[in-house]
Structure 1
Amino acid sequence: MVTFSDIADYRDFLKEFYDRRKVEMPFYSYRMMGDKLGLDSSYLYRVLQKKQHLPAHALPAAKEILALSGREAEYFDLLYSAAVSKDKTKREELMAKALSLRDVERHSLQAAELKLLENWWIPAVRAYLELNGGVVNVKQIAKDICPPITEEQALEAIETLKSVGLVKKLASGKLALTEAHLTVGGPEKAKAVRNFQRQVLSLASDALENVPVNERNISTLTLSVDQSCFEDLGDMLREFRRLVQKRVDGAKNPDRVMQLSMAFYPVARKGGASENTIIVGEGAGDKK
């Protein structure tokens, strides 16, 4: 479901609901949704296209099918009142109240997002759900993560992913990945990201002993560079990340979750260093 930080028009709640139901149930129609709201299909279509507003009598039914309650329902009502108000000052006051509620929700969401970065296995569980078709088998998930995690950790990972909108529950009970983006920023995120990267690099070190050579690819380069070369290599690494993601997006039948860690950092600083290169590598596809 969309979150407060995604919504500035109450009709977006309805549009997201319709689109989601259409994915889950291809035969779902404007008529079926309109029947729930007491509207004919053509009028509902105009509402979702933001060419009409919901009639006031449809608001209780709308909040019911959207499963809105408490602060969410209040937020929906404020957005509706602001949208239909013809008084500019009143409309601005209503939107200000709505935004104050949204800020509370954003704070809650950011706390959940920070939790996402606390443990390396939470993103790994999300990727794993793509492999197994979204089947929520906590015992199997915990066993298949490398290295294995506890069932409690697997369950916590799933709940965290749901709370930040990175997975959603389908009518079948399975989970589907979403294209949600994280919004948290600032020093809190920087600290969480550093902690996450520290865990991931530790996993890479452990893989040297715990993962067979033919199932991993670990190599290192020790380089002497100048500032211009340093900047060019940074650009090359960013482009490589983009190409990796593009290739992964095209994978037809993924059967494993891999962690790619890239670290590029100084080990010495001295003016006039030569541009010699020492290459160390092992594993499938390593360059010697």
Structure 2
Amino acid sequence: MKPITEYSDYRTYMRDFYEERKRVSYFTWREFASLAGFVSPTYLKLVCDGGTRLSKPGIAKVARAMGLEGFDYTYFGLLVKFGNAKSAAEKEAALRELEQEARLNKIRIVDAEAFHYYETPACPIVRELAPIMPGAAPGEIAASIRNKTSALDVQDALQFLVKAGFLVKTGKGTYKQTEKSVKGSKEAIPLAIRSMNREMAGLAVQSIDTDSPDERNITGVTMGIDEAAYARIVETINDCRKKIINIARECENINQVYRVNLQLFPLSDKVNNRVVKKETSNEQD
């Protein structure tokens, strides 16, 4: 059975524990529940099938039944907290606790790299800047970043990027990008990207006030659409994003780091009655 740190879903871990015990001995859901001290013989199967959540008091019972102690016990409790979280904010908080606990115990967890990479703009910005500033000290790189970033932030980002394999150090103060992509679980990646999008959206707002129109392109369209039109627009945005990525890949004389935010979001609730088609409002600076 895999180490618990390779799991991001406590239900999957519990089911794997059950399957492993069943493989080597006669073991049933009834016995698992009894071992954990539950009256209902089907409760833990219901939990693993997603029919209900493991209760807070049940964490200690199940952990004891699975023989978890120390860090593994704590990690399991945080996995349950993450899996049972009802909001994105609660899930992010639980994921941060998981990462912090793993860091304190010097243990690498499956989602730590992804969440750390997307947690602040520093990592993706430094990943792009460092290779085009050979020999630059962390303070010099920090000074070239327009949002407030310290030399220590850059130094920490560089150390993480090299350790995680996103950059390779080729000499003193010189770095080369790798082809490694940011990977994580299906639960953690959307949360990490959501956190990054919030940060980058804030930088876009700052850019309106601090950067001249010659250096930025911020436009918007306010429009009335239906579900079919929404799907077509999303497809167009995805095609546009892919074209932009290809243009960036073809660039050979990189001298600056940019961010493209492609945003499409609702400004109203859905209206049931039919409305007359109106002209769209195009806003451009």
1:108 is displaced (CA, Å) by 3.4
Q: Which residue of 2 aligns with 1:112?
A: 113
Q: For residues 41-60 of structure 1, what are the structure 2 equivalents within 5 Å?
A: none
Q: How many residues align?
A: 178
1:188 is displaced (CA, Å) by 2.5
1:137 is displaced (CA, Å) by 1.4
RMSD, aligned α-carbons = 2.1
Instruction: Point out where structure 2 has 5 or more consecutive residues left out of the alignment.
Output: 1-5, 7-105
1:154 is displaced (CA, Å) by 0.5
**In structure 1, C-alpha distance between the alignment counterparts of 2:217 and 2:173, rounded to whole Å:** 36
Is 1:279 aligned to 2:277, yes or no? no
**In structure 2, C-alpha distance between the alignment counterparts of 1:106 and 1:227, rounded to whole Å:** 45
Q: For residues 75-224 of structure 1, what are the structure 2 equivalents within 5 Å?
A: 107-108=108-109, 110-133=111-134, 135-171=135-171, 174-224=174-224
**In structure 1, C-alpha distance between the alignment counterparts of 2:232 and 2:278, rounded to whole Å:** 14
1:256 is displaced (CA, Å) by 0.9
**In structure 2, C-alpha distance between the alignment counterparts of 1:275 and 1:259, rounded to whole Å:** 32
Answer yes or no: is the 8 Å Cα contact 2:114–2:184 preserved in 1: yes
What is the TM-score of this pair, normalised by structure 2? 0.58
**In structure 2, C-alpha distance between the alignment counterparts of 1:187 and 1:278, rounded to whole Å:** 37
> CA-to-partner distance for each residue in 1:123-166, whole Å, 9 max, x for gaps?
01111123224x34111001001124101100011112112211
* 1:215 maps to amino acid: E
Q: For residues 211-250 of structure 1, what are the structure 2 equivalents within 5 Å?
A: 211-250=211-250
> CA-to-partner distance for each residue in 1:211-247, whole Å, 9 max, x for gaps?
1121111111111112111101100000000000111
Q: Counterpart of 1:214 in 2: which secondary structure?
A: coil
What is the TM-score of this pair, normalised by structure 1? 0.58
**In structure 1, C-alpha distance between the alignment counterparts of 2:203 and 2:144, rounded to whole Å:** 15
Instruction: Point out where structure 1 has 5 or more consecutive residues left out of the alignment.
Output: 6-104, 283-288
Give % identity: 17
Answer yes or no: is the 8 Å Cα contact 1:166–1:177 preserved in 2: yes
* 2:271 maps to amino acid: K
**In structure 1, C-alpha distance between the alignment counterparts of 2:107 and 2:261, rounded to whole Å:** 30
* 1:196 maps to amino acid: M
